[in-house]
Structure formats: C-alpha cells, structure tokens
Amino acid sequence: MHMPKWWLGALAGALVGCSAGPYPGDPDFDTEPGGWDGPGAPSDTGMPDFQLELVTGPSELGANTATLLRARLCNRGEVEASTEVAFFLSLDNVIDERDEYLSTSMRVPVSAGYCRDASARAVMPSVGEGSYFLGAIVDPQGRVSEVSESNNQRGGGRILVDITAPAAPVLAWTTQGSGIPQLPQLSVQTEANATVRIYGGGSCQGMPLADSATGSNTYCEVPLDLPSYSVISYSARAYDFAGNASSCTNIPAPAGYGNTDTTPPAPPVLVETNWSYGTTQHQLFVRGTAEPLSEVGIFVDVQCTGNPVATVSASANGTFSATLTVAATGVGSIRRVFVAARDAALNESTCIGGPTYETPCPQGYANCDGNPANGCEVDLTSDADHCGTCGTTCPDRGNAEGVCVASTCGIGCPVGTYDCDGNAANGCESTQACGPASCTIDRSEELVITSLSVVEDMIRTPVGGAWHFETLMRSLAGGQDPSPLVRQWLRTWTTTQTINGLTVPARPQMMTKVLGPWEELSGGPNQPLNFAHAPFRLLAIVNRMDLRQPGVQAGEGRFVFGVLDPNGNPLEFTVIFEYALPGTTPEAIQAWAHDWHELGQLGLSHPDFKMKLHALTNRFAKEGVMPGRPHGSALNQIRTNEVALGEPWEMREFVLTTSGLQPATVKLTPDNGFQNTNTLSSFINANQADILAEQHTVPERFSGQRFLGASSKVPENFFWRAPSVNTEARHKFSLNTCNGCHAGETGTDFVHIANRAEGQLAVLSPFLRGGTVQDPVTRQTRQFDDLGRRAQDLATLVCGTPATGIKGSDLTFESLLGYPAPSNLPRARVH
C-alpha cells in the first residue's frame, strides 16, 4: 500500500508508546481462528491480501492515558506475510491528513486464510475534546505487495476524548448513622460519576485505604476504620471515566483519632528480583527485607503510586517474598519493580526501585538501537547491518553485495553480474554469462546428495549430529526434548483423522511396527524416547531452489529419511522434511544459489565439502531462522509415503503449529474418490488452459464438494483419468498430483528416493535421474529427467547460462534478464 507523503512523515516522527501483544482469552481475537471457504476465500495470486475486520479501543480517552488499541487482521491472499497496523483518531471515519496518528503495532505474521490480532499501546496525543472515530490502516509503510491495495483501511467505533480533569475533591467529616459509638466518616464532593481514592497522609501517595464512587449528585461518603489507621491526616484524588486525575486535597484526622507514631519505617531492601518472560504474561519473583511485621507494597513500572500489584507482610525477622503475574508489555520495553513499606500506624517509607528489566525480543529480532519506543526494530536473520547479532555487518566483496541470510553473512551478485571464477575476493567479476567450463552443475553434489560419505558421516549423522533425526526434531520443538512432539506426530496414524472434511482411516500398525518397538527400547511409553534407537536413516539432502518465490522464500532445502523396522532393516516408508530457504530478496536468492553451487566446485572429496554443507543446512534447519513461525522454524511441511502400515501406498502431509505437527491436505491432489468422475472432468475442462500451462491449483472445494485430498492413496500403477477431457490436459493434471507423479504417470515405483540398508546408496527413480515411459492413456513415449531440469535451472540462476549436457534447452542469455532468473519449474509442480 503506497501511503501519501503526509502519512509517511507522521509515521517517521510521531511514533509513541509501545506495541502490545494479544489480549489473552478474548474470543474475538483468537490468534488462529481458522480459515474459510466460499466468498472471500484465499485467492490464487501468490501474494497476500490483508484486510481489517474489526478495530476496537476504549469508549473514552483522557489526557496522557495509556490505552490498548486492537484490530483483527486477516490475510485473504494465497501466501503468508507479515505486516503492521497503524491507528488514528479520525474526525469522519475516513483517514486523511486531518487525522491524528496514535501508534503502530509490531509486525504480525498471518498465514493465508487466517486472522490474527494486532495491538498497540498508545498515549493520547494533545487533541481537542470531542467525539472521534478510531481508524486503522494495514501495511502503513507500503512494504508488502498485495492482491488489492484498496481494502487496507477500516473505521472502528466512536471514542469520546475527555482531557478535563475532575474538580479537586472537597473533603469534610460527617457523623455516621445512629450507631453507637458514632464514628466520623469522610464525605467527598467532586465531579459526578467519578472514582475517589482515599489515602493515609496528606499527599495522595502510597496504597489507597479505600475507594468509592460519586453518583449523579457528585457526592459520596466513605466509611473509614479510623482507630486502626491513626494517621494525622487523610487525602483524596478523583478520577473520571477517561482516567483523568484531579489534584490532591487533604484534611486533618478528626479529633481523637490522630497518629502518635509519625516515624516512617526504613525503606525495604530488595535482595532479588527475577523476571520470567511469557507471550501474554510476565512472572515476577521479589525477595527482600523490611521493618518486621510491616506491610510491603509491590509496584510494577510506577514509583509507588496508585494501587500496588501485590502487598505482602514482612515476617517477625523482617523478610518478605512474593511471586506475582503481570500483563506482558511490548517487546523491547523497559520494566522495573518498586517497593515501599507501611507500618501499623500507616507511616510509609520512601520508595525503592529494583533493577530494570528489558522485555526480550522474539526469536530472531533485537533492539539494536536501545530505544524501547520502537521495540525490536531489527530482524537479525536478514539485516546486513545486524546479521545474527547487533552491529555485525556483512561486508561487500568487490562489486558483490553483502547479504544476511538466516543470520549468516554471504554475498549476492548485482543484476547483470556473475561470479564465474569462484573467487570470493573479487566478487561478481563478470558482466557476461559464465561459460560452460566454469558452470557445470554436478547433480550428486549440488542437487540430490546421496553419497555415503555424507548420509553416513560419522560426525553429523549419529545422535547429536546436525543431520540426525533427533536434531531436526529438537529444532522443531524449540530446542526442548522432542519426545512429546515426535509421539504426538506418530500417533496421528493410530486414530482416524478428519482433514478438509474428509476422513483418513487410522493405520494402527504404526504402533506395532514403528512407535511401539521404539518405546520398548526406550524403557516404556511414559519414558523419553531414546533417539539412539530412532528408526530413521538419512537417505539424501536435497536442494530445491527451483521452488523459489521472490518475496516469499529462496526455495526449499530437504532431508529425506527412511523408516526402519526394530532390527534396522528398511521399511517401505520414507519421510521428507521440507524447509523454506530463508530469504526473500533477489540478493538473498543469489547468495543461496552461489553457496549450493560452491559445493560442486569443491567436490565431495574436498575436506571442506561437508563443513560447507553443514553450515548451509544449519541456515534452514535450525530454530530461529524464520521469525514469526513456531519456534522460528523454516519447516514448510513434512511429507510421508508408505505402504508398511497398510495397503495401498499412502502419502500424508503435516505442518508445524504451536500444537505440534498437525495433518494437512495433500496439495494439488484431489481425493481419490474423484477418480474418473464427471466432477473431475468438469474441473479439468474448466481449468484446461492453466492445467496445460501447469499454472493451476486444486481448491479445497469444487462444485460444492470437498475436493482437495486429506491424504493421497497410491494404488499400483495409479494415474488420474477423467472422461471427455483433453489428453494432454489429463497428463499434465495427473503428473502434478502426488499419486500420479509417484506411480503410473511417470512409471515410478512409489518413491523417487528409495529407502536403503546401511552401507547402500539410495536409488533414485527414473523420473529424477532420467528415463522414458509410455503415456498410460495415449501410449506415446514421454521422457523425464527432473534432475536435468533442476541442474539447468540452477545454472541459469547462478551463472546466467544453461548447464552443459542438458538437451532441449531453448533458454538464451537475453531471456534471463529477470533478476533473479525465474525458475523453470511450472508453478503447479511441487514434487
């Protein structure tokens, strides 16, 4: 969204307050309320589309009153993205240069088809009294390209701005009722419908003794237990509904109730203040000493004024402690605890403050400028001036630009330049596409790495190694013991699952063949899993830069595992971890391509090959590399393919959420029940042009029915058929489904990377390594060589020229002027 100059100037110079997280427990602001279908469902555009559904705030605001503003932010586009929401006070519910800027929320990541809440805490600016509308704008700085830029504003309800403080209370003593004995009580005259707080002493400081409220007649009476207080004076302050506070007035204690002890206690001594950070709450532990048997008030963020967060009594030896929970503040904000003591005669000590505490930033972000007002302003995973840590700058090399990818410095070639000599010192020295001699893509070293020296590396593949199953799962669990996460995931096979309204039957042999034996070797089902016995063997590490989407991800990096029986023998069962390569800019994409290609330039026999690969995989497989996702994980999905647990072969897909690895739909693949049906024919015929161009998607619903599959069943030699459709459209549709590509359409025996025994190489399918197959319908010969296509794509990306030995290439240098070079992978193909 491109904002007018008046707004950009206001944003640059008028940020106030701190951003705040979601209100816990508010049913209107669930963090993941779910997707939707029907009108307004996610569009097929490859871009996000933000829209505000609700904007809320208080009904009244007072001068300098902190307030929480909230908006329900929805993404009706196709891809996840992050953005901010700015709030305004508007005269007419249309935001323009006459309106008053309030505050901006922190960036909120929103998945396609979901809604989340955005909130900001602001202090009221100086505006005239009156009635205003609360308005909000999505993406106020125009950083995100959206499907529609015209739906980014929304107005909320009216807010009454009241900046006039109530009149100072008029205090007097009056006699209470007809009781015996009759005790004086305090009468208060001030603004109607105000809250009145009564304090011991004459300065409205410390903890209120009592509070009351005036009615419509501006008057109230406050009974006080005068004998127990015995102070020499009392004071009062009035607060209106908008939070404006009156000045303080005081009155001497009535005759006969004065305080004879006027010596304040010594100030408390804080021995320990310990903060624990949470998303919506902070926990605070306080320990110290004070006058024996005194009352200690604990205040947070205010210097012993107003009501304390908690009060505790010091023991007979003067020690006190308290554990309390307070609402979280915005990341990067500074917090502090204050304490004061009050003795039995209500004498109060001076106020003592503890050390400051800075609310930590979310994983991957930092407050590098030290300014709490703008929170955690730096993304350490992508900022070339603060890469990994504040102040770490990624240097340029020659004409190559320093870039930060997943908190690691690298270089990216500017548009129209190439690194043909492999010398990092002189950067991207060539303005011409690299010649064949310097840009040969080695498939087994740069694309699908199955070498035993890698997948059975003695350092990185045992337990604790970077490429072991446990290490990857521990990262998905945020660095914690992954046993609960792994059990939760594997047990999804043991019960019937419902996904997209469709049923996936249980496969109970998961317990008898995989999880049960593993738990037995781990000491039982209630013990942590022993990952030395994890039934998973690494098969391959895979580069899928052809899945790059500028603005979204630089491609994918994958780990392929085979599942084993209790004796370590391979089952017909494979698991693929599929991670986004973090980085959305052209320079970041070029940096990834450069690093993958450098593996081939080194060669498997080079002593630095595995070190380079290890560093590269850490950039996508470790937690914290993609802020805003669960545990900062870059995992896009886990996909499985097995027949070991039951017939027929079945493929499942899982995504990482805050609740674990949850089953998801299989993409581009209808439910098997639509095989050879008129409904499938209608879909293919209605989308024939996109299917032939391999640009189509498969929606969750079609023709009023649940269409996208909850899993993908793969009977032997399966391929998709439909009556009365174009034969080439049928082929392209079937090729781009999970079960079609893994069976009869490509002549594949169910897996493209086969499980293996120890000491043996994983076998690649003819679809990957190259081969011919007859079309199952027309019987015409079709040739596949997907690794050849991927090699050509990487060569055009990193070197500006097709790789040598690739047949059928019609790409020219002139066609590669896009930066970075567009992928040659059809958008509808995700295998």
Q: Which CATH topology does 170-252 take?
A: Immunoglobulin-like (2.60.40)
At the second CATH level, the architecture of 269-358 is Sandwich (2.60)
Residue 4 has pLDDT above 50, yes or no: no
pLDDT at 453: 97
Q: Reduced to 3 states, what is the DSSP secondary structure of residue 115?
A: strand
Residue 788 has pLDDT above 90, yes or no: yes
Domain boundaries, the chain: 5-161, 170-252, 269-358
> Is beta strand 60-61 parallel, antiparallel or unpaired with respect to 153-161?
parallel
376 token code pair: 């955690």
pLDDT at 288: 95
| pLDDT over 90, % of the chain | 52
Task: Provide mean pLDDT across the span 803-807.
Answer: 36
Report pLDDT digits (tens) over 7-57. Answer: 443 343 332 222 223 333 333 333 343 444 433 444 445 889 999 988 988
Report pLDDT digits (tens) over 446-474. Answer: 999 999 999 999 999 999 999 999 999 99
Say which range, 120-129, 392-401, 654-663, has the weakest mean pLDDT.
Answer: 120-129
Report pLDDT digits (tens) over 264-305. Answer: 999 999 999 988 766 567 788 999 999 999 999 999 989 998
Question: Measured between alpha carbons, how far is 593 from 794 in angstroms, rounded to an integer?
Answer: 7
pLDDT at 803: 40
Task: Provide mean pLDDT across the span 125-136.
Answer: 83
pLDDT at 231: 79
Residue 532 has pLDDT above 80, yes or no: yes
- Crossing angle between the packed helical segments 469-476 and 609-621, to the nearest 10 degrees: 30
Instruction: Round the average pLDDT of the chain to a whole number and report it.
Output: 86
C-alpha distances in Å from residue 214, one per residue of 162, 190, 219: 18, 7, 5
Tell me the CATH number for domain 5-161. 2.60.40.10
pLDDT at 627: 86
**Is the CB of residue 547 less than 8 Å from the CB of residue 823?**
yes
Task: Provide mean pLDDT across the span 409-433.
Answer: 78
pLDDT at 57: 86
pLDDT at 29: 37
The DSSP code sequence of 343-396 is -TT--BPPPEEEEEEEPPPPTTEE-TT--GGG-S-EETTT-TTSSSSTT-----
